[in-house]
């Protein structure tokens, strides 16, 4: 099976995407799949390369584009001044953040006519915007934090809020642009920080509770939940993807898999994650991040439709703890993209 694996991208999460692709390469069964590695540089150039190693851009790469013409159903690769067509059976996007997780690449794939792994255009766009995610999930009966949106030309009144709050870009990931604000005089600077990543800013109440997450795989009613995990913080907030050496551990957080919670709470976290996943129309895979409060209730934090797959990422660790190593996860999400069913 010829699989196009797209990685890199021009968002702030480019380095994380490259690491995710490297982990996919380590676990991809090349007896089953013939991979075509398509790297997108930070400036947005597409290149067909030998693989996602750290220095991939300087290797033997050729300019390539994914054809939006569904009669081609594959890549157009520039060779000696001419474009060579390479057919693909499937595309696995290993992209995070803007243009990779927000419906943009999914729209191009819809035009191409090639089956692809993961959520469709609508659910990708919906989950990327945290304020819209909250509105939909609330309608499904799941609690969310109280929040306020700030548009590009708006200046919020700091005296109208109860602190602490979190200020974050409405449409970004990996905690880029996020600030915990404990005092009114810190608000304006936090909003400006968030605006470096998105013109739409979210101000969100701080939720008192444990940070927990659940990896979900599947479509519709046929869903597999990984083991729930739990993040313990010494200070600040979870931001492992921005640390210098996340492979050797985090400076302020510890992730426990399975989560150190009761069996009742574990079941509630997993079932709530499934409700959220279905309400947002997710398909293929997603990681649902939540808060578990002391009274046992669950509150949504956010949904990642193309979660990190690095060696230290939460999604593969939760699935591995449930008995599904990354190689098997890849097999199953490929099957879902082609047949709509977990096989």
Is 96 considered catalytic here?
yes
Task: From the candidates 62, 87, 247, 323, give the one annotated as an active-site residue.
Answer: 247
Task: From the candidates 14, 19, 130, 314, give the one annotated as an active-site residue.
Answer: 19
Task: From the candidates 33, 197, 277, 312, give the one annotated as an active-site residue.
Answer: 312
Is 235 considered catalytic here?
no
Is 16 considered catalytic here?
yes
Task: From the candidates 47, 287, 317, 332, give the one annotated as an active-site residue.
Answer: 287
Task: From the candidates 14, 39, 91, 96, give the one annotated as an active-site residue.
Answer: 96
Alpha helices in 97-228 (DSSP H): 104-112, 121-128, 130-139, 187-195
Is 62 considered catalytic here?
no
* Phi, psi at 335, each rounded to 5°: -60, -40
Task: From the candidates 4, 8, 16, 97, give the one annotated as an active-site residue.
Answer: 16
CB 40 within 8 A of CB 7: yes
Task: From the candidates 98, 200, 241, 317, give the one annotated as an active-site residue.
Answer: 241
Is 19 considered catalytic here?
yes
Is 26 considered catalytic here?
no
For residue 229, which of 142, 151, 126, 307 has the smallest C-alpha distance?
307
Establish whether the linkage from the previous residue to 164 is cis, with ω within 30° of 0.
yes
d(CA 240, CA 291): 18
Task: From the candidates 97, 100, 103, 308, give the one annotated as an active-site residue.
Answer: 308
Alpha helices in 119-255 (DSSP H): 121-128, 130-139, 187-195
CB 67 within 8 A of CB 36: no
Is 247 considered catalytic here?
yes
**What six digits make up the tokens of 15?**
């380095």
Is 287 considered catalytic here?
yes
Strands of the chain (E only): list them: 2-8, 34-40, 46-49, 62-66, 74-79, 82-87, 90-94, 147-150, 165-169, 179-181, 201-205, 210-219, 222-225, 229-233, 253-256, 284-292, 298-304
β-pairing, 201-205 with 147-150?
A: antiparallel
Active site residues: 16, 19, 96, 241, 247, 287, 308, 312
């Amino acid at each position: 099976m010829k699989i196009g694996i797209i990685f890199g991208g021009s968002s702030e999460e480019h380095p994380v995407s490259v690491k995710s692709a490297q982990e996919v390469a380590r676990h991809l069964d090349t007896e089953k799949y013939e991979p075509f590695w398509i790297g997108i540089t930070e400036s947005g150039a597409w290149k067909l390369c030998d693989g996602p190693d750290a220095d991939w851009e300087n290797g033997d790469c050729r300019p390539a584009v994914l054809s939006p013409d569904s009669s081609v159903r594959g890549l157009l690769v520039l060779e000696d001044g001419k474009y060579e067509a390479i057919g693909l059976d499937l595309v696995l996007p290993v992209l995070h953040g803007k243009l990779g997780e927000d419906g943009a690449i999914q729209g191009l794939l819809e035009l191409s006519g090639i089956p692809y792994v993961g959520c469709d255009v609508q659910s990708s766009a919906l989950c990327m915007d945290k304020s819209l995610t909250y509105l939909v999930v609330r309608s499904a009966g799941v609690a969310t934090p109280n929040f306020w949106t700030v548009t590009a030309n708006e200046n919020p009144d700091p005296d109208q809020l109860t602190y602490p709050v979190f200020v974050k870009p409405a449409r970004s990931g990996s905690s880029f642009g996020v600030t915990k604000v404990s005092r009114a005089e810190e608000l304006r600077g936090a909003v400006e920080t968030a605006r470096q990543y998105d013109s739409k800013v979210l101000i969100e109440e701080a939720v008192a509770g444990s940070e927990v997450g659940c990896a979900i795989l599947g479509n519709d009613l046929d869903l597999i939940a990984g083991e729930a995990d739990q993040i313990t913080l010494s200070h600040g907030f979870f931001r492992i993807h921005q640390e210098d050496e996340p492979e050797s551990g985090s400076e302020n957080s510890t992730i426990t898999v399975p989560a150190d919670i009761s069996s009742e709470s574990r079941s509630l976290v997993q079932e709530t994650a499934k409700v959220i996943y279905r309400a947002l129309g997710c398909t293929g895979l997603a990681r649902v991040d939540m808060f578990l409060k002391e009274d046992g209730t669950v509150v949504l934090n956010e949904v990642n439709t193309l979660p990190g797959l690095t060696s230290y990422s939460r999604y593969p660790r939760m699935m591995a703890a449930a008995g599904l190593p990354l190689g098997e996860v890849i097999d199953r999400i490929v099957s879902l993209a082609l047949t709509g069913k977990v096989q």
